[in-house]
């Protein structure tokens, strides 16, 4: 059962890696909001981490940002954090592949294999944070600006599909990390069981200091009675 959970964690980790890459590459972090009469309803404007796009009925044009400095602070930070997330998930997947029960790597070193599994679970949890923080930050900014009466309608946006993919990916990363850490705790418990049993058996064989060792000695009175 635990081996199946580890395989499930491997599948979820692979899905999370794809989701992180897709969320980072998509330009739909911010989508134009059609709430004003002056906006052209036939045109969509998307803003992502790397480019912005204008979509019409028959065509779509995308342009990469000329400089990182022209982006708002939340998109600047999100670009770096999402790249870190991709690297962390890729490293965690590589480490987890060596630490699973069905892997032939480190078969002789059980303790090292268990530590490898715990390290992979920790990296998945860390990548969950580095994915959740930028997605939630951008989502909070979009909602705050949407409800800001001082901004004109053309400056307001709605939540894009990349944000929803990022939130779903964060949940998958969290589940994957929890599965690996729970599997590590079960393995560690099994690893400590033989040592615990050996310690109990050794403790039973050690004589207690307060106990008195009485030896049988022949009675001198009995010997005298034999000659009478």
**CA gap 140, 148 in Å, rounded:** 12
Domain count, the chain: 1
Alpha carbon distance 47, 65 (integer Å): 10
pLDDT of residue 56: 77
Whether the pLDDT of residue 211 is over 90: the answer is: no
Whether 70 is in a domain gets the answer yes
In a domain, 106, yes or no: yes
Q: What is the pLDDT of residue 225?
A: 52
CATH number at residue 106: 1.20.140.150
User: pTM for the full model?
Assistant: 0.76
User: Which of 125-139, 192-206, 212-226 has the weakest average pLDDT?
Assistant: 192-206
Contact 127, 85 (CB under 8 A): yes
pLDDT tens per residue, range 124-143: 999 999 999 999 999 999 99
Dump pLDDT digits (tens) for 134-168: 999 999 999 998 888 887 777 788 899 999 999 99
Query: Domain limits at 163?
Result: 2-198
Q: How far apart are CA 164 and CA 136, in angstroms?
A: 10
Q: Work out whether strand 44-47 and strand 30-32 pair parallel, antiparallel, or are unpaired.
A: antiparallel
């Amino acid at each position: 059962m635990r081996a199946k959970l580890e395989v499930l964690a491997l599948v979820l980790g692979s899905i999370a890696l794809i989701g992180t890459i897709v969320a980072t590459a998509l330009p739909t972090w911010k989508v134009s909001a059609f709430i004003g009469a002056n906006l052209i309803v036939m045109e969509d404007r998307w803003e992502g981490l790397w480019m912005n796009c204008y979509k019409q009925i028959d065509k779509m044009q995308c342009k990469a940002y000329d400089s990182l400095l022209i982006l708002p602070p939340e998109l600047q930070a999100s670009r770096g954090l999402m790249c870190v997330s991709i690297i962390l998930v890729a490293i965690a997947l590589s480490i987890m592949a060596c630490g699973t029960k069905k892997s032939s790597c480190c078969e002789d070193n059980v303790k090292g294999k268990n530590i490898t599994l715990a390290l992979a679970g920790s990296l998945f949890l860390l990548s969950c944070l580095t994915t959740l923080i930028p997605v939630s930050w951008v989502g909070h900014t979009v909602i705050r600006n949407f409800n800001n009466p001082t901004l004109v309608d053309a400056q307001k946006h709605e939540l894009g599909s990349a944000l929803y993919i990022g939130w779903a990916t964060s949940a998958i990363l969290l589940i994957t990390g929890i599965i690996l850490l729970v599997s590590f705790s079960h393995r560690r418990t099994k690893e400590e069981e033989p040592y615990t049993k050996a310690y109990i058996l050794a403790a039973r064989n050690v004589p207690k200091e307060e106990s008195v060792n009485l030896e049988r000695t022949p009675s001198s009175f009995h010997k005298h009675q034999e000659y009478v």
